[in-house]
C-alpha cells in the first residue's frame, strides 16, 4: 500500500559523495559514504576493513561500548563514534540508510553533526512507499548513572518530541556559558540551527586518561573544543554561547536514534553522556508497557509531528 504523501519514510536519493576524515579516538584516516536502503530496514553499517566485512545493524542491542562515544558491533567487527551521524540522520528525518565505512570509527569531521547534515542535504532524500513510524513513550522512564546519582535522565509522555539538557561543569569557561538548553523538535531546520554546529569538547587534564584507554588519539583543535584551566585553546572561540550544552543535546539526539525512530517524548537529563543515554534506551526497551511504535498517521491524531523539510538537494 502506498504511504500517505504527508509522512513517507525517507532514505537517500542516491549514494552520497565519499567523505574522509580522522577518527577522534582511533586517530586513523577513515572514509565513508551513505547509501539508500529499503523501507523498514532502518540504519545499518557496511563495515569493510583489515580483511574483515560485516553488516552491523544500528540498535541498542548491538551497542558494546559507551566510553566517550557510542560503539556498535556484530560478527567480530565494531564501529565507534556513531552518535553525530545518527543525530544528522534523525534531524533530516532519514529512516533507512546504509553507512559504508572502511575503518573502526565514524570520522569526527569538525566535531559536530553539521558536515553530515550537509552531506545528506546535498545528496538529497527520497520518499519511500512505506509510512514513517515513531516510538511514542506512554509511561515515564528514568535512570541514573551507577557511579553518580546527580547524572540522570528520563523520558516522559508528551504530545511532541522535546529535549531539555542541563550540564554543571566547574570549569570557568563552561560555567560562563549557558548550561541549560530546552529544544522542541518541531522542525528539522530549527533543530539543525540550534545544535548541529556544536562541537565535542574535552579537557587538557584528561589527556593521560584518554591515552590510557586508547581514546582521543585523533583529537585536535580542528575537531574539538579544548579547555585548559581558565581558557579555551581554540583560536576562533565558540560558535555559539551555549555550544557545550548544545553538543550534549546533539549527542542525546543521536544516542536516542539508535533504534532508527524518533521518540515522541519529553527527554530531560542532567549531565548526560553516552552511557546514561544507552541505559535510558535499554530501560525503555525493557518496559514494553512504557512505549508503543506507531505509524505517523496515527501519531498525528494527538501529537505534533516534526516538519523534516524538503527532500531535494539543498
Clarify whether residues 214 and 120 are in a common domain.
Answer: no
Domain-ending residue, one of 106, 132, 158 = 132
| CATH of residue 256 | 3.30.1700.10
Question: Which triple of cell numbers denotes residue 173?
Answer: 569557561
Q: Are 269 and 155 in contact (CB under 8 A)?
A: no
Clarify whether residues 21 and 79 are in a common domain.
Answer: yes
Residues 6 or more apart in contact with residue 53 via CB below 8 angstroms: 46, 47, 77
Burial 138-161 (b: 16+ CB within 10 A, else e): eeebebbbeeeeebbbbbeebeeb
Range of the domain at 80: 8-132
Q: Which residues are known catalytic residues?
A: 274
Residue 1 lies in a domain: no
Residue 306 lies in a domain: no
Mind listing the pLDDT tens digit of every residue in the chain (314 residues)? 444 457 999 999 999 999 999 999 999 999 999 999 999 999 999 999 989 999 999 999 999 999 999 999 999 999 999 999 999 999 999 999 999 999 999 999 999 999 999 999 999 999 999 999 999 999 999 999 999 999 999 999 999 999 999 999 988 999 888 899 999 999 999 999 999 999 999 999 998 898 888 899 999 999 999 999 889 999 999 999 999 999 999 999 999 999 999 999 999 999 999 999 999 999 999 999 999 999 999 999 999 999 998 886 54
Question: Cell 502506498 identifies what position?
Answer: 2
Judge residue 13's burial from the number of C-beta atoms within 10 Å of its C-beta, 0-12 exposed, 13-18 middle, 19 or more buried.
middle
Residue 283 lies in a domain: yes
Spatial separation of the C-alpha atoms in residues 176 and 178, rounded to whole Å: 7
User: For 87, which DSSP code?
Assistant: H
251 known ligand binder: yes
Clarify whether residues 123 and 195 are in a common domain.
Answer: no
Judge residue 80's burial from the number of C-beta atoms within 10 Å of its C-beta, 0-12 exposed, 13-18 middle, 19 or more buried.
buried
Number of domains in the chain: 2
95 known ligand binder: no
Clarify whether residues 105 and 141 are in a common domain.
Answer: no
Clarify whether residues 285 and 199 are in a common domain.
Answer: yes
Domain-ending residue, one of 98, 132, 166 = 132
84 known ligand binder: yes
| CATH of residue 89 | 3.30.230.20
Clarify whether residues 53 and 180 are in a common domain.
Answer: no
Residues 6 or more apart in contact with residue 224 via CB below 8 angstroms: 24, 108, 111, 199, 200, 201, 202
Clarify whether residues 230 and 200 are in a common domain.
Answer: yes
Residue 304 lies in a domain: no
Clarify whether residues 67 and 84 are in a common domain.
Answer: yes
Amino acid at each position: 500500500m502506498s504511504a500517505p504523501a504527508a509522512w513517507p519514510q525517507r532514505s537517500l536519493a542516491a549514494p552520497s559523495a565519499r567523505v574522509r576524515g580522522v577518527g577522534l579516538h582511533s586517530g586513523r584516516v577513515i572514509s565513508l559514504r551513505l547509501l539508500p536502503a529499503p523501507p523498514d530496514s532502518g540504519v545499518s553499517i557496511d563495515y569493510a576493513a583489515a580483511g574483515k566485512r560485516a553488516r552491523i545493524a544500528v540498535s541498542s542491542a548491538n551497542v558494546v561500548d559507551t566510553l566517550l562515544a557510542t560503539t556498535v558491533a556484530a560478527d567480530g567487527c565494531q564501529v565507534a563514534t556513531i552518535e553525530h551521524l545518527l543525530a544528522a540522520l534523525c534531524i533530516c528525518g532519514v529512516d533507512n540508510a546504509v553507512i559504508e565505512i572502511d575503518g573502526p570509527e565514524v570520522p569526527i569531521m569538525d566535531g559536530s553533526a553539521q558536515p553530515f547534515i550537509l552531506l545528506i542535504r546535498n545528496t538529497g532524500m527520497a520518499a519511500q512507499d512505506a509510512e514513517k513510524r515513531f516510538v511514542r513513550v506512554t509511561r515515564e522512564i528514568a535512570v541514573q548513572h551507577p557511579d553518580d546519582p546527580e547524572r540522570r535522565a528520563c523520558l516522559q509522555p508528551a504530545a511532541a518530541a522535546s529535549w531539555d539538557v542541563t550540564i554543571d561543569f566547574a570549569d570557568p569557561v563552561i560555567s560562563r556559558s549557558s548550561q541549560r538548553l530546552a529544544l522542541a523538535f518541531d522542525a528539522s531546520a530549527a533543530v539543525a540551527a540550534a545544535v548541529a554546529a556544536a562541537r565535542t569538547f574535552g579537557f587538557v587534564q584528561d589527556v593521560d586518561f584518554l591515552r590510557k584507554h586508547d581514546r582521543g588519539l585523533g583529537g585536535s583543535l580542528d575537531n574539538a573544543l579544548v579547555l585548559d584551566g581558565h581558557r579555551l585553546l581554540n583560536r576562533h572561540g565558540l560558535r555559539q554561547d551555549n555550544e557545550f550544552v548544545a553538543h550534549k543535546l546533539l549527542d542525546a539526539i543521536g544516542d536516542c536514534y539508535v533504534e532508527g525512530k524518533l521518540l515522541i517524548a519529553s527527554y530531560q537529563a542532567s549531565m548526560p553522556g553516552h552511557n546514561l543515554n544507552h541505559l535510558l534506551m535499554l530501560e525503555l526497551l525493557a518496559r514494553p508497557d512504557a512505549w508503543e511504535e506507531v505509524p505517523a498517521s496515527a501519531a498525528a491524531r494527538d501529537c505534533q509531528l516534526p516538519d523534516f523539510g524538503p527532500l531535494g538537494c539543498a
